[in-house]
Structure 1
Amino acid sequence: MRAVVMAGGSGSRLRPLTIERPKPMVPIVNKPAMSHILDLLKRHNITEVIITVQYLADMIQDFFGDGSSLGMQIHYSVEETPLGTAGSVKNAQDFLDDTFLVISGDALTNFNLGKLVEYHISKGTLATLALYNLPNPMDYGVITLANDGQIVRFQEKPSRGSVMSDYINTGIYVLQPEVLDFFEPNTPFDFANDLFPMLHQQGYPLYGYVSEGYWCDVGNIPEYIRANADALEGRVEGLDLGRYLGNGIWAGQDVEIAPTARLEGPIYLGQSVQIKSGAVIYGPTVIRDYTVVDNEAHIDRSILWRNCYIGERAQISGAVILRQCSLKANATVFEGTVIGDGTIVGESAVIHPGVKIWPGKEVEPGATVNSSIIWGSQGRRVLFGRHGVTGVVNIDLTPEFSAKLGAAFGATLSKGSIVTINRDMHRSPRMIKRAIISGLPSAGINVWDLGSQPLPVARYYTKICGAEGGVHVRLSPFDERVVDIHFMDGQGLNLSKNKERDVERVFFREDFRRVYLDDIGSIEYAQQVKERYIEDFLKHLNTRAIQDASFDLVVDFADGAVASTLPAILDKLNCNVVSLNANIERTNFSLNPIQFQMALKQMQIITTALGTQLGARLNPGGERIFLVDDRGYLLAGTTACAAMVELALRDAPGSTVAIPIDLPNLFEHIATRHGGRVIRTETDLDALIKTTCSEKVIIGGDGKGNFIFPDFHCAVDGMMALAKILEFLATQRASLGDIVSKLPPYHMAERKVSCVWEAKARVMRLINEKFESYRTQIINGAKINLAADKWVLIVPDPDQPYFRVIVEATSQGEAETLADEYAQVIEKLSPLE
């Protein structure tokens, strides 16, 4: 049997380890990562290997040669340009005329490949994927299996709120040669993202084999450190670490250890390593060939590559020191530091935690380094969350961090392009916004400052002005200490997950684009922002009908930027408005849940007392809207959404609406009586927006006060939602109270069930297996359909360690009972085994 070893990756997330070598050549303990993979293949009697290479290909070819020294036959397939995992294997198709194995050359594993091959043959399938059970699988491709092992769903790096299983794709496959006939040569094509989903959609049965043993993809520096530690601590059975001296110490030839040195394993010492008098070394530590550790030096949980010198009384803790580095006497290197090849750290210099030093640098004696030399430092692993980039101001989000963030975003865009930037009224977003502005021009980006506009206005203007992206900085509505930074694409929408990863990749690689003097971007104030929004806004309304109705309204502006735009719109619509909280100079926009409910109650009381036709509260940014009808009832989010859908379908019968999967079947009943259709989406707001704007949908709503009217623009807009309600009521000569009173009844209950992060994916897999026969929709979480208008939805929360259990039933009592019952099911499945 032949194997294809994929070794073309550049390992950008491992920089600076991979600046001077391809990722498969990064050493794990005593040899390059790919050497361990070839050893594994040889142990399973697979000795004929094709290695696909691209980045620094000569280094791999020179090291392994034709494989004769290993007792193997090695052939090479060279990619001129990156072709993806499947595309690179396609290049070697002439060698592959029978069942073959594909394996990554830069991971660490001890899987039983023989059992994997036997399983593949027994299933008679085109492809079998080796899977691994991982508690937190969100950074990997996730696979959902049927009970017979057949793959039923692929998820590529799912969010915490959408993950369906804890089985991950390890990149190890057993394939039939025919799979390579499904796509063209010399075309970028990926196994996980392209080929396997395509085969699955075409009805070809694919299988997953859950492998036992050890697996680590060594995808970043913390994982690299962990892989070395796991190897030393015996978690990777089958590795040959060389001569064992006892007490958890392995050593190569000609190692010298002074009698007064103190070593506490597990430790690996390479060939001709010298440990001098009084040196102290705590494991897990790797010290590779020809390295000298001088008198009284102290090394703890670190990895030192070949030919390094560690001076007298130097201290290294939790660091990675690359090849041919010299740390002089009394130098100190702290946790998480990576020092690149050939770097000299002067006497008594101090390198602070998390610093990266690129190859060939020199740190002066006595210097203190607290940021990465040349490229800068970073301390976060992931930037983006559900609310963009968030953090406590001046702690997580500092001006220097924000400037680098702006430079990283700019580096993902075309040089000379335009980025709009906007903020709310608080001092903290103003500071962070100005820092971001300083970073963008350094990457050759022209900045158009929108000032302080409602977020829908900023999104709209970003789309129409020809910008390639946008930024909005706001105080978090949940915590006044926290600032949220939203990044937008050229359509004014939040960045896609792939675009977010592009920004993160640039930021964490610390590889910012620096343009020459003449290419530095400009900073200008945008003109006619509000006016252009209002002009187009009114064109999308039946203004005459609204003006003739002359509505009496109570509107709570929440002291936000929305108060600078919405009053002018309502004035043009001939509305008589009682304004609440319209002071845009206020700087406190965050309300706790009790304060928020009090604000809604105040609006309800005033609306009722004045007898107006409608009461509305918008959030400070102008996106969400909360309603009180003419009867004085404060409408629940689902009820308000249903009323809006009812009005929209009355206005345009036979149309389509988009609604998340966690809202009741009420919406299908409304659509049916108007000849319409409901498209269900994931619970994530971005998914709702994407569906609303990609399908022929007239309205999207999430039951939480967010509405999208794609005819105007593809973004949540509370101001447009308010105006459309007025238009519908005017043209249909109806009152909101009448509309609400005629809605079909619904009964729902919800529970939150605590579950540690590590167990979430496993619980989702077990839920899907347990209720497989009841599931009819795979959109988000596990939806269990019990009967007409009776279902249970179990969804992992993306930001908190709990599950949401949402239930609809034919009575409120039944809904509460079912919610309790299924919450108990999760509680029983949650404990880690």
Structure 2
Amino acid sequence: MRQAVVMAGGFGTRLRPLTIHRPKPMVPVLGRPIMEHVLLLLRRHGIRECVCLLYHQGEWIRNYFGDGSAWGMSLRYVQAEADYGTAGSVRNAADMLRNEPFVVISADVMTTIDLSAAIAFHRERQGMATLLLTRVPNPLSYGLVLTDSAGRILRFLEKPSWGELFSDTVNTGIYLLEPSVLELIPYRQEMDFGKDLFPAMVQQGLPLYGYVAEGYWRDIGTVGEYWQVHHDFTRGILVPEILGEQCGEHLWCGADVRIDPTASLRGRVILGDRVIIGPYAEVEDSVLGAECILGAGVSVRGSILWERVTVEAGAVISGAVVASGSIVGERSSVEEAAIIGEGCRIGADALIAAGVKLWPGKVVEDKAAVAYSLVQEERWTHGLFLNAKVAGKTNVEITPEFAARFGVALGNAFGAGTSVAVSRDAGNAARMIARALMAGLMSAGVNVVDLQVASVPQTRQELRTRRYAGGIHVRRSPRAAEQTEIVVFNAEGRDIPSGLAKTVERIFYGEDFRRAAAQQIGTLSFGERSAEGYIRHFLAALNAEVIQQRSFRLLVDYSGGLAANLFPMILGTLGCQAFAVNTYVDPLGRTPPLEESLVAEALRALGCELGVRIDYGAERITVFDRRGVWYSPARLLTLVLKLFLQTHRDQEPYVVAVPVAASAEVEEVAAEHGVRVLRVRNSHSAMMEATRDPAVRFVGGTRGDFIFPEYLFAADGMFSAAKLLEMLALTGWELSELDARLPRRYQREGLVPCPWERKGSVLRRALEHPVGSERLLIDGVKLIEPEWSVLIFPDRQSAAMVVIAEATTPERADAVLEEYTELVRQWQQ
């Protein structure tokens, strides 16, 4: 191969503040811009013609590399007018490529991969495309690839969650492509290689191969990865082509370097052109860019100094990055993991504490101590959003200051003049953060409708009126009591799409805030009729008459949560005689423990037909029958599904969706009605996504969460409880009688300690395990035999793997769990 396309359009959002004033490919690594290392790699393997795709601050790259002749290469440039995605951008440069195979490589990777060996593999396989793969300890940030023994790709998954892992083999972003691949990419339309093109090629059966490459590879997408490359160099793991001559065992010097004879240099050190090191200065395991000046007695250890940095006498820099043109005053100290942006001026005797980040151009006065970042974003180096939520420690990471700035970014993304609904739980922390968010939104010219205390389902229903550009819900995290979550919705009430989330992140990190003029500041109003609209829609989706005729007598536990505000009124309208406990709304979000024996005793004493517990957020339910028997979430799913199938025969054929962790009882029950079962990932977001298919009429979860798409595309605990009453009334079933008639399987669950970095390799070993007549790779790895199955997937919250065994007898389920628990331990070796 003679030609390559170099993807050089990245914003470098997660590398801020290092990328405020330069594009990510131009960030220096070991004395050179990252992109220069990439070009040298291509040249070493005989590839000298490159088309460079530019987008953000492209003039930096043009000015530095020119036509490439100084590097013995030929460089041409394409400046993108819009972000067409990785594949779409390459398609737009097709006219500049020869009609022959070419390499696609990112300009922000550090690698010593043998491209020649990969090219030989590509020629031997004669495929349309070959992806260069590598194995990494934490595969979450990369595209995951599954190949057969010949290297043909069977499955491709872009940036998986922990639950979606099935291997530790990832896509490096380096591709060898035949020109025919370009014919599959539409012109001037957004398309991504990993998310769109390659999965489509696999689905069409086109020859797509993966080559597991040896050698060093690291994607420099975050400050942490940037540091890791430096540490890998100082430990001898990375041996790149270094700028300058080797003037010592582990010392490389550029031209005209001046080192005082009394200075001390230890470890691996790179000095750029015209560096000056003064008397008694100490440099250890560090990189100094061109024209850096170290004064007398300066100490620089484990640090990266860009070009033209001046460190005055007696100053100490330990494990920090100091960007171009900055000055560190005499006797000042810059501590571990601090980052000093370009053009900063730190006065004499100042202290920059560990982890602090200074944005470009900041000035620190003499004798000042900076303990916090002047733009504090260190918590968010891996992106703000995770599954449409922003979460962090209350009043530590999620602070009013953060919320106000986040509100402005959201407001800019939604657009001035639009309306946004904001709701919260009853806690003081949620009230505080919601008000700060609303202030930020109004500052961006957005009109805010405050729904005040409302559940997520109620907020989603309000957004379905299409009067809003989006919505926000603030709550105490149901997973970690010390955290606050900010959940963001689109105009339909669904979770914010990834494209809009990236826009918000770009605005937030870039501080490119557009604030409204005084006369255009947004308004604040209250959604006074939101509850009325919710109840009206709720009742319209039910057969209220049949529930009223049944006159249910039930016990309702509100968990001290948000359902207590509305559900008593709904039950009254439905003619139910309800005995309620925990009817208060706890401002701290504390859920009382479930006392099964007390609930059973109360049910029997009150003569109730069933008991329902609604969780704090009003999204999930727990159910007891009249005997006081509690149904596990897995068994409850089987019962609710059977009731749904019996009461919706007129709509058949249709599809029901359940998580991969759900019991095989589901298929047995569905088969009786000729209904197909769709398995999805073990997450509420995956369940919601399934409702986009109009054939899906029911989605049941394994945590007491149920979705009835004709009512709402998300779980609503209050509606689930009412729908259960409707279906029981229509069929005449008692839960205990139905439970006795349905097929039963037995599940056992275990948690096996496993280091985070071994999770991917455990799943790869599970996939290679020669057992299981059927395999599911929807969420983790599920091995299926006629009499038993086992599901293995990473725990999202801890260093552990989850093992769920299921069998036709409890003894067999116990045995399968024991066997695979031991195998998971062995696979970590």
TM-score of the two chains, using structure 2 as the length reference: 0.94
Contact 1:300-1:316 within 8 A present in 2 as well: yes
Is 2:397 aligned against 1:390?
A: no
Contact 1:376 1:510 in 2 (8 A): no
SS at match of 1:87: helix
Cα pair distance change 1:82/1:597, threshold 3 Å: closer
What's the secondary structure of 2:197's corresponding residue? helix
2:605 aligned residue: 609
The 1:772–1:273 alpha-carbon spacing in structure 2 relative to 1, beyond 3 Å, is: farther
Cα distance, 1:786 vs. partner? 1.4
* 1:552 positional shift: 0.9
State the alpha-carbon separation in 2 of the partners of residues 438 and 457 from structure 1: 23
Matched to 2:405, the amino acid is K
How far apart in 2 are the matches of 1:495 and 1:84? 19
Kept in 2: contact 1:628–1:635 (CA 8 A) = yes
Show the counterpart of 1:825. 823
Cα deviation code 1:673-703 (max 9, x no counterpart):
2332322211112101221343333322113
CA gap of 1:579–1:84, structure 2 versus 1, over 3 A, is closer
Query: Does the 8 Å CA contact 1:13/1:505 hold for their aligned counterparts?
Result: no
Identify the residue that residue 699 of structure 1 maps to in structure 2: 698
Instruction: Give deviations 1:396-426, integer Å, cap 9, x for gaps.
Output: 3332233333333333322222222222222
* Partners of 1:355 and 1:377 within 8 A in 2: no
For 1:699-747, what per-residue CA distance to the aligned partner results, in whole angstroms no more than 9, with x for missing partners? 2211321111111111211111111121122222332222222221222
Give, in whole Å, the separation in 2 of the partners of 1:523 and 1:310.
51
SS for the counterpart of 1:694 is coil
Q: Is there any run of 5+ residues in structure 2 with no aligned partner, and where?
A: none
CA distance, structure 2, for counterparts of residue 113 and residue 220 of structure 1: 25
1:120, CA displacement in angstroms? 0.6
- Tell me, what secondary structure is at the counterpart of 2:464? helix
1:639 to 635, 638, 650: 635
For the residue of structure 2 that corresponds to 1:616, the secondary structure is strand
- The question of 1:597 aligning with 2:594 is answered yes
**Structure-1 separation of matches of 2:430 and 2:737:** 42
- Asked whether the equivalents of residues 793 and 805 of structure 1 are also in contact (C-alpha less than 8 Å), the reply is yes
Q: Residue deviations 1:532-586, cap 9 Å, x none?
A: 11111111111121112211111111122211100000111111111111123x4
Gap change, CA 1:319 and 1:671, over 3 Å in 2: same
Q: Tell me if 1:629 matches 2:625.
A: yes
User: Of 261, 279, 282, which residue of structure 2 is paired with 1:280?
Assistant: 282
Q: Is the partner of 1:825 in helix, strand or coil?
A: helix
SS at match of 1:615: strand
Moved more, 448-457 or 713-722: 448-457
Aligned residue for 2:785, secondary structure, equals: strand
Amino acid at match of 2:611: G
Please state whether the residue corresponding to 1:158 is helix, strand or coil.
coil
**Distance (Å, rounded) in 2 between the aligned partners of 1:11 and 1:390:** 22
Name 1:416's counterpart in structure 2: 417
TM-score by length of 1: 0.94
Change in CA separation of 1:378 and 1:105 when aligned onto 2, cut-off 3 Å: closer
1:725-736 pair list within 5 angstroms: 725-736=724-735
1:650: which partner in 2?
646
Q: How far is 1:65 from its partner?
A: 3.0
Structure 2 Cα separation of the partners of residues 437 and 523 of structure 1: 8
- Residue 740 of structure 2 corresponds to which residue in structure 1? 741
CA contact 1:478–1:590 (8 Å) conserved in 2: no
Unaligned runs of 5+ in 1: none
**Contact 2:244–2:255, Cα closer than 8 Å, also in 1:** no
Contact 2:466 2:491 in 1 (8 A): no
Q: Assess, with a 3 A threshold, how the Cα gap between structure 1 residues 152 and 6 changes in structure 2: closer, same or farther.
A: same
Instruction: Find the counterpart in structure 1 of residue 521 from structure 2.
Output: 520
User: Match of 1:425?
Assistant: 426
Query: What is the CA distance between 1:259 and its match in structure 2?
Result: 3.2
1:454 corresponding residue in structure 2:
455
1:760 corresponding residue in structure 2: 759
Q: Where does residue 359 of structure 1 map in the other structure? A: 360
Q: 1:257 matched to which residue of 2?
A: 259
The 8 Å contact of residues 161 and 796 in structure 1, kept in 2 or not, is answered as: yes
Q: Is the aligned partner of 1:108 residue 2:102?
A: no
Q: Aligned with 1:751: secondary structure?
A: strand
What's 1:793 paired with? 791
Counterpart of 2:427, as a letter, is H
C-alpha distance in 2 between matches for 1:85 and 1:640: 45
Q: Which residue of 2 aligns with 1:85?
A: 86
Take 1:77 and 1:547, find their aligned partners in 2: how far apart are those partners? 68
2:215 to 202, 213, 229: 213
Q: How many residues align?
A: 823
**Alignment of structure 1 residues 147-296 onto 2, 5 Å:** 147-246=149-248, 248-283=250-285, 285-296=286-297
The Cα of 1:136 is off from its aligned counterpart by 0.3
Output the CA distance in 2 between the equivalents of 1:489 and 1:398: 23
Is contact 2:223-2:381 (8 Å) kept? no
CA distance in 2, matches of 1:191, 1:277: 53
Deviations 1:621-664 (A, max 9, x none): 21111111123322221222211111111111234322111112
Paired with 1:379 and 1:298, the residues of 2 have a C-alpha distance of: 29
* Counterpart for residue 3 of structure 1: 3
Distance 1:157 1:533, change over 3 A: same
Secondary structure of the residue aligned to 1:464 is coil
Partners in 1 of 2:95 and 2:817 — Cα distance? 54
Deviation at 1:385, TM superposition (A): 4.6
Deviates more, 1:428-437 or 1:75-84: 75-84
Residue 814 of structure 2 corresponds to residue 812 of structure 1:
no
SS, match of residue 173 in structure 1: strand
Q: For residues 558 and 244 of structure 2, what CA distance do their matches in structure 1 show?
A: 71
Q: Distance in 1 between matches of 2:520 and 2:376?
A: 22
1:380 aligns with 2:375: no
CA distance in 1 between counterparts of 2:310 and 2:538 reads: 68
User: Secondary structure in 2 aligned to 1:762?
Assistant: helix
Amino acid in structure 1 at the alignment position of 2:198: F
Kept in 2: contact 1:387–1:484 (CA 8 A): no
Name the counterpart of 2:34: 33
Greater mean alpha carbon deviation, residues 10-19 or residues 673-682: 10-19
CA distance in 1, matches of 2:110, 2:771: 34
Which stretch has the larger CA shift, 120-129 or 388-397? Answer: 388-397
Question: What residue is the counterpart of 1:769 in the other structure?
Answer: 768
Q: Root-mean-square deviation (CA), in Å?
A: 2.4
| AA aligned opposite 1:171 | G
- Secondary structure at 2:549 match in 1: helix
1:209 Cα offset (Å): 0.6
State how far apart, in whole Å, the 1-side matches of 2:723 and 2:644 are: 9
Contact 1:9 1:23 in 2 (8 A): yes
Question: One-letter code of the match for 1:252?
Answer: G
Is the CA contact (8 Å cut-off) linking 1:429 and 1:483 kept in structure 2?
yes
2:584 equivalent to 1:583: yes
Q: Deviations over 1:414-440 (max 9, x none)?
A: 222222222222222222222322322
Letter in 2 for 1:548: Q
**Residue of structure 1 in register with 2:444 after alignment:** 443
Distance 1:455 1:50 in 2: 48
Q: Does 1:535 align with 2:532?
A: no
In the alignment, is the contact (CA less than 8 A) between 1:3 and 1:102 conserved in 2? Answer: no
Which letter maps to 2:331? N
Secondary structure of the structure 2 residue equivalent to 1:50: strand
User: Partners in 2 of 1:775 and 1:518 — Cα distance?
Assistant: 64
Give, in whole Å, the separation in 2 of the partners of 1:556 and 1:162: 35
Q: 1:161-199 CA deviation, whole Å, 9 max, x = no partner?
A: 111221111121111111112223333333222222222
Structure 1, 187-196 or 210-219: larger mean CA deviation: 187-196
Cα offset, 1:232, TM superposition: 4.2
